[in-house]
Structure 1
Amino acid sequence: MIDALPTLAVIGIGRISRPMVVRLRRAGHSVTVTNRTRVRALDVAAETGACVAGTPREAASSADIVIVCLTDDTAVGEVYHGPDGILAGVRPGTTVLETSTIAPQTVRTLAPLVLGRGATLLDTPVSGSVELATRGELTFLVGGPKEALDRVRPIMDVLATRVLHFGESGSGGIMKLAINSLLLSMATALAEALVLAERTGIDRAAAYDAFTQSAAAAPFVLYNRDNFVRPREAAIHMTLSLVAKDLALIDALASSVGAPMAQLDANRKLIDQAMAAGLEDRDGVSVLAELLRHNAMAQARQPGEPNRSH
């Protein structure tokens, strides 16, 4: 006798979770989706044949595995609590995969509440781009009980090529923030290096291609080429407002454990300047290069300053 595939609910339809739904449906899973902006849920349902639930409670009550993918801690809190929240609907034996990039303490607060409903919460933020999500090549960063992780590995294997377990609840979120800290530092350095090359007269695309064929050719550099070379045309990977949100989470975590973050402080000054310039809805990494170009041109126009424009 063949065991039935687990039923799934995906709560929050965004840039990463939408291709997750597509892959899960192609793998034959029954998937129920819900989103605060209902049209997003209806859109992915029309494409994939997923069911649409009116509330997180309804979605969670139908699923063996619940995948939550939301913007921030506030959104997560609203979706779990209240008469229409996940906690009101989740069934005993269900596993909740919390993939949102949020404070580790938020996950640690939610885990016993989910356990009180007879279910299990794993913090499972993902690392990777929209393209990697589409190809099922994400990386899951997991905190929580190992036995619960073992139960949901077949689902994760549909979505990811790597599943890394770091220990107790919250440790997956800590690693996501550590990785994002590194990536955002790379984004700033990449923007500076590209603008440096451009200011000397080197073609933007040629300079970027040199990065991709050098020791600097990390996956992050490779998949962000279009965003840096054609920033007005390429698809947004992550908005600047989400970058700023993650930087605040990283800063709070570093302060709580006394970790020095000199690079974070430098990055945050540039991010804050970009936010103040009203760029919060632009791509959060390539927009830094645009800001640096603007700053260089403004400096070149100042009286008494040497003109470095080309």
Structure 2
Amino acid sequence: MTTQQTIGFIGFGAMASRMAAHLEKAGYATLAYTPSGKGGDGVTHFLPTPAEVASKADIVLACVPDDEALAASMYGPQGVLAGIKADSLLLNTSSVSPEAADALQKAGQEKKICVIDCPVSGSTPEAASASLVILAGGDDAAIARAQPIFDKIGRITIHAGPSGSGARLKLVINGIMGAGLAAVAEGIAYGLAAGLDRSMLFDALDEMAVISPHHKRKIKMAKAGDFSPQFPARLMQKDMRLLMDAAARLAVPAPTLAAVTQQLSLARRAAEDADYSVLIGVMEKIVANDA
């Protein structure tokens, strides 16, 4: 006989709400906190502070946009760490800097709780279909403890290494993803400026093995002019900024990724809440204006 466990969500945006739906179907109860106090359908109820969510949950799952939001929700008298019970499990699915992930793990140790940094690879379609890739950092026992939850929201869990490794692997993946999109955007811009038929160009790229399925999805969005946010430009640019900082700390030269960061800053300035594939639209507009 099992007792229903409660998962407390800190942050309840497009990704977290989809994860919660799968966990509810699997029999977990859910609570949530958002800075706005608002949420979607299906969640048991929303509480006014992270501390209250943590005090009533068996497992806390954080899904917030950046280091600043993580700090605001974890620390201080109303933060998760003020309310969480000893030996609780804290899953940090947020895409944050390695330093923020490491600091939370250290703070968790002091509170005698188990913290796993476990950002996810995938956008809203993968969250909706429970096919995210979980990038987990922590020891074997911690990962095993969290595995039942990971299995409900993702298709595979990659144990990236000790605590903090998940955050570091996420930066590698998103850096490559951003660079691929920038190359696609520049290639399309050249093709259009050179007079290639637009529909033919977009359709041809969809047939090319050299382009990833992820980037083919972005090309289709750009062809339709539909940049509904699956992964907003502001978050992609934020991840590139974190990668640049992390690489500089280790004196790793990354000139290509530095240039891509500037391109994504342009996309964020143009439409920060649109999908980051809006960079293709920005480049298309530039060459159209030159025509």
TM over 0.5: yes
C-alpha contact 1:70 1:76 (8 A) present in aligned 2: yes
Aligned amino acid, residue 145 of structure 2: R
Cα distance in structure 2, aligned partners of 1:224 and 1:48: 30
Distance in 2 separating the partners of 1:49 and 1:244: 30
With structure 1 as the length reference, what TM-score do the two structures score?
0.88
Whole-angstrom distance in 2 between the partners of 1:7 and 1:130: 23
Give the equivalent residue in structure 2 for 1:28: 27
Distance in 2 (alpha carbons) for counterparts of 1:14 and 1:283? 15
AA partner of residue 196 (structure 1): Y
Instruction: Decide whether the 8 Å contact of 1:25 with 1:50 is kept in 2.
Output: no
- After superposing the two structures, state which structure 1 stretch, 208-217 or 130-139, moved more: 208-217
Query: How has the CA–CA distance of structure 1 residues 27 and 175 changed in structure 2, closer, same or farther, with 3 Å as cutoff?
Result: same
Does residue 171 (structure 1) correspond to residue 155 (structure 2)? The answer is no
- The answer to whether the Cα contact below 8 Å between 1:227 and 1:283 also exists between their aligned partners in 2 is no
CA spacing shift, 1:131–1:117, aligned 2, 3 Å: same
Residues 203-262 of structure 1 show CA distances to partners (whole Å, capped at 9, x for unaligned) of 44443332222212422123324421123x342122222222111100001001121112
> Is the Cα contact below 8 Å between 2:193 and 2:288 reproduced in 1?
no
Aligned to 2:78, what secondary structure does the other structure show? coil
In structure 2, the partner of 1:254 is 247
**Contact 1:101–1:125, Cα closer than 8 Å, also in 2:** yes
* Equivalent position amino acid for 1:254 in 2: A
Counterpart residue number, 1:269: 262
Aligned with 2:150 (options 141, 149, 156): 156
Q: Which runs of 5+ in 2 are unaligned?
A: none
Determine helix, strand or coil for the equivalent of 2:31.
Answer: strand
User: How many pairs does the alignment contain?
Assistant: 291
Relative to structure 1, is the Cα distance of residues 273 and 135 closer, same or farther in structure 2, using a 3 angstrom cutoff? closer
Distance 1:203 1:169, change over 3 A: same
Looking at structure 2, the residues matched to 209 and 216 of structure 1 have their Cα atoms a distance apart, in angstroms, of 14
Letter of the aligned partner of 2:288 in structure 1? M
Other-structure match for 1:190: 184
- Residue 92 of structure 1 pairs with residue 86 of structure 2: yes
127 and 91 in structure 1: CA distance in 2 versus 1, 3 angstrom threshold: same
State the alpha-carbon separation in 2 of the partners of residues 219 and 266 from structure 1: 23
Secondary structure at the counterpart of residue 224 of structure 1: helix
Partner of 1:37: 36
Q: Provide closer, same or farther for how the CA distance between residues 50 and 202 of structure 1 changes in structure 2, counting only shifts above 3 A.
A: farther
> Does the aligned pair in 1 maintain the 2:7–2:28 contact within 8 Å?
yes
Amino acid at match of 1:247: M
Residue 236 of structure 1: aligned partner: 229
Q: Which amino acid aligns with 2:3?
A: A
Q: Paired residue for 1:210, among 204, 211, 219?
A: 204
TM-score by length of 2: 0.94
Contact 2:31 2:43 (8 Å CA) reproduced:
no
In 1, are the aligned partners of 2:49 and 2:79 still within 8 Å (CA)? yes
Number of the residue aligned with 1:64: 58
- Report the Cα distance in structure 2 between the residues aligned to 1:263 and 1:155, rounded to whole angstroms: 37
In 2 relative to 1, CA 203–93 (structure 1 residues): closer, same or farther, beyond 3 Å? farther
1:98 is aligned with what amino acid?
N
Residue 79 of structure 1 and its aligned partner are, at CA, apart by: 0.5
The RMSD of aligned alpha carbons is 1.7
Shift of 1:13: 1.2
Structure 1, residues 132-180: CA drift from partner, whole Å, max 9, x if none?
A: 1100000011111220110110111000011001211111000000000
